Each structure stands twice: as C-alpha cells, then as structure tokens.
A and B are shown apart, each in its own frame.
Chain A
C-alpha cells in the first residue's frame, strides 16, 4: 500500500511529469516562467490548490456523480473556480504578506488545465482519497520543478546572444523539449526495483 502511494507520487512528479510529459499546465509554464522567484511561488500556490481540488473531486465522485455522471465536467469546473476564490480569501484574511506575493497568480490558476486534468485523471484511474492526495502532491511538485527549471534556463538565455527569430515562444518550446527529453530518463525508476 505504502509503495503504491510512493509510486503514484513519484510517477506524477517525475516519470510522468504533469507539464513535461502530459502537457498539463502549459499556459503558466510558458507565461510565468520568465523569473525564478515568481515561478517558485506560483508552483507552491499550485500545490495548494491541487491538493484541495483533489479532496473536493473525491467528495464529488463519492456523493454526487454516481447519480449524475453527465454533470462531472461542469461540477469540477465550478468546484475549481470556487476553490481558487476560497483560497484567495483565506490567504488574504490570514496572511496579507503571502497574498501580496501571490496575488495576481491566484486567479490564473483557475484556467490552469493541470487542475482540471488532475481531477479528471484521478477519476478515470479510480483513486481513493489518500491516493488522490498523493497524486495531487506529486503533480504539484512536478509542476513546480518544471516551472523552476524552465525559469532558471530562461533567465540564462536572456543573457545570451540569440537570433531574433528564435527568441520567444519558439525558443521556449525547444528548451521545453530538451527538458522533457531529460525527464524521460526517469522512466523505469520503479520497474527496475521490481
């Protein structure tokens, strides 16, 4: 059981990294990865929202959706939107400093496909509550890792001489491709041990 949880966590964080191998959460990955410290903070905010969404999705799956499976998508979207609002309010109330630091990024999380993706994958893989949390934590760590790596590389690239037509999204995509290639090396991490 424990090794299963670990496998879910590591799989979501490294082997099947949410951003680099499942292509979830690409908007912030390209949009907010220009600076290292903001990238890191956004990653942390994502972990938080992911875990709460996972719990909410488990609750919905247990009590509501067996009666109305066709409402799955709509209810997930509404839950995510309200979760983000709720998190925003809580942080504002209890830690104005953190709110100031995260402020503009919180609403952005609503449109992050990683969050909806997490809820959907968790449902289709039939994870329980604890497995769901492990999955969410792994996904969040994976997202943060990818964001931070990307931001670090982009800060470096800023200082290099790069032809004008390569700069911008094209270059970011190719950097992401190389990172993704690197993350493929994590495959087999668990198969080997078995």
Chain B
C-alpha cells in the first residue's frame, strides 16, 4: 500500500499555521462543537428538502409492485392490525398484506410480501392472491442476490415467472423438474437453478400459510378514497 504524498506540498506554510495554533482545550472543544453544529445544520436542511421526494419514491415503488402482481388493479389499501382478521390501516404504516382494487373500486385480490433464505442470500418477494379463484395471480421478486445468469432467472425468466399467473394454492404448490409437471399447483423449476426456484415457492408458501387464515372477506373491503 503505497500512499504517495504529493510532491507539491508547501511545508513552510504548514509550519507557519502550526506555530500560530497553540491550542488550549477550550479551543479544541469549540472547533469540534462548531464543526458539529455546521454539519447538523447542513444535514437538517438537506433532509428536509429530500425527505418528501424519497418517501414519494418509496411509496410509488411499493404501489407499482402491488399493482403488478394483481392484474387489473389500479389502487390499493394496506392491511394490518393485531386482530384475528386483518383490517385496513393508514397510508403511513408498514404493511405486508395489501388489498388491490380495479378502476371501478371492485376488489381484485390481495398482494402479500414474504422473505426467506435463497441460494445466496435473503430473497424478498411479493405475490398476488385471488381468494375467489383460490389462485396465485402473479409474483415478483423484489430483492435477491442470486447468482447472475442462473439464480437471477427467478426475476428475468418469463417462462418461470409466468407460471405464477394462475397457480392453484390447494393443494400446496410444489416445484417439479422442468417438463414433468403440468398440474395446476405445480411449478416447473428453472434448469440449473433448482434451489432458487424451490426457495421462491417455499417463501411464497410460508407467507401464504402465515396470512391466508387472516385475510378479511372481500365484501368487507373498500377501495381507498371511495371509488364511484
């Protein structure tokens, strides 16, 4: 590690400033205090300026994901609460289950997020569920660090992702070798990425097991803002 010093450093000036500074501890504290004050001021200003933009971005990304996994949906409502059945919660709260509605305000399905261990690291995903059809109607991986070229096909391979557009949840979905399945609850694994494929289905099943019993009946749900 050779940290090459600049040859152009004027040493005479450095010596002059050092001589001028015979620092007492009050001065040291003052300098640090001033630096802290200045930095706090800058940070608060930039924070105030960027916060609304960042929050809008985040809300938009989440909404986009929810609407993508529930076909036909244009608006959503966060669900949560401690009760035996989930209830609508405020826009600002954190949620893992969402109800999605079409442009007429009619209920289209639930979107549920889940996460768990993949091949490399944690995978986060969101899937859409239509309780009337008892089907998964769409799935998207939100975050993963799976191997590029193989494991990341769980995001990019349309043949794999497309299977979640109409996947029966009873009996519990299983992964089979490519071309050997065909059942309504069977998912063909990606060749060369069996473990990632299995991880996706397992995370989805675990999330579904946790939330399916708590989903409120469709009749109890209203689109946010009261659609016409």
CB contacts (< 8 Å) of B145 on chain A: these are 16
Inter-chain contact B202/A71, CB cutoff 8 Å:
no
Looking across the interface, which residue of chain B has its beta carbon closest to that of A4? Answer: B117
In the bound assembly, the distance between CA atoms of A115 and B38 in angstroms comes to: 26
| With known contacts A187-B147, A191-B199, A194-B198, A15–B43 Cβ distance under 8 A | no
Of the A-B pairs whose beta carbons lie under 8 Å apart in the complex, a sample of 7, sorted by A's number, is: A15-B121, A16-B120, A70-B43, A71-B43, A187-B119, A187-B120, A191-B117
Interface pair B43/A191, CB less than 8 Å apart: no
- Kindly supply a per-residue 1/0 record for chain A positions 3-34, scoring 1 wherever the CB is within 8 Å of any chain B CB and 0 otherwise: 00001000100011000000000010011000
**Contact of B117 (CB < 8 Å), options: A7, A70, A71, A125:** A7
When distances are taken between beta carbons in the complex, the residues of chain B under 8 Å from A15 are 120-121
- Given A30-B1, A70-B44, A71-B43, check contact A191 B198 (CB 8 Å): yes
Q: Is the CB of B121 within 8 A of A11?
A: yes
Q: Which 8 A-B pairs have the closest CB atoms?
A: A191-B195, A70-B47, A70-B43, A191-B119, A190-B117, A188-B119, A187-B120, A188-B195
- Are A74 and B39 in contact (CB-based, < 8 A)? yes
- Is there contact, CB below 8 Å, between A194 and B43? no
Within 8 A of A (CB), among B192-227: 195-196, 198-199, 202
A80 to chain B, nearest CB (A): 17
Chain B CB within 10 Å, residue with most, of A16, A192, A194 = A194
**B190 smallest CB distance to A (angstroms):** 13
Chain A: residues with CB nearer than 8 A to chain B? 7, 11, 15-16, 27, 30-31, 69-71, 74, 125, 169, 187-188, 190-192, 194
B105 within 8 A of A: no
- Which chain A residues lie closer than 8 Å to B40 at the CB level? 71
Determine the distance from Cα of A81 to Cα of B44 in the docked complex, in whole angstroms: 23
B118 at the interface (CB under 8 A from A): yes
Residues A191 and B121 in contact, CB atoms below 8 Å apart: no
B117: A residues at CB distance < 8 A = 7, 11, 190-191, 194
- How many angstroms from the CA of A15 to the CA of B146 in the assembled complex? 12
Q: How far is the CB of B75 from chain A (nearest CB, A)?
A: 28
Interface size on B, residues (CB 8 A): 20
| Min C-beta distance of B200 to chain A, whole Å | 11
CB closest chain-A residue, reference B202? A194
The secondary structure that dominates the B interface is: helix
List the A side residues contacting B119 at CB < 8 Å: 187-188, 191
CA distance A69 to B55 in the complex (A): 14
Task: Chain B residues near A190: list those with CB within 8 A.
Answer: 117
Using A15-B120, A70-B47, A74-B39 as known contacts, say yes or no to A194 and B199 having CB atoms under 8 A apart: yes
Q: Which residues of B contact A74 (CB under 8 A)?
A: 39, 43
A46 to B214, CA, bound (A): 45
Set of chain B residues within 8 Å of A125, measured between Cβ atoms: 122
Q: Which residues of A contact B196 (CB under 8 A)?
A: 191
Q: Which residues of A contact B44 (CB under 8 A)?
A: 70
For B122, the chain A residues whose CB sits under 8 A away are: 125
**Cα distance, A188 to B120, chains bound together (Å):** 6
- Complex CA gap A190/B202 in Å reads 13
Query: Shortest CB–CB separation between residue B196 and chain A, in angstroms?
Result: 7
Are B47 and A191 in touch, CB under 8 angstroms? Answer: no
Q: Mark B144-186, 1 if CB is under 8 A from A, else 0.
A: 0101000000000000000000000000000000000000000
A11 proximity list for chain B (CB < 8 A): 117, 121
Residues in chain B near residue A31, CB distance under 8 A: 1
Report Cα–Cα, A191/B119, bound state, in Å.
5
User: Which residue of chain A lies nearest to B36 when distances are taken between CB atoms in the complex?
Assistant: A74
Taking CB atoms and an 8 Å cut-off, the chain B residues in 68-108 that contact chain A are none
Give complex CA distance A69, B51 in Å. 11
**Assembly CA distance A58 to B145 (angstroms):** 25
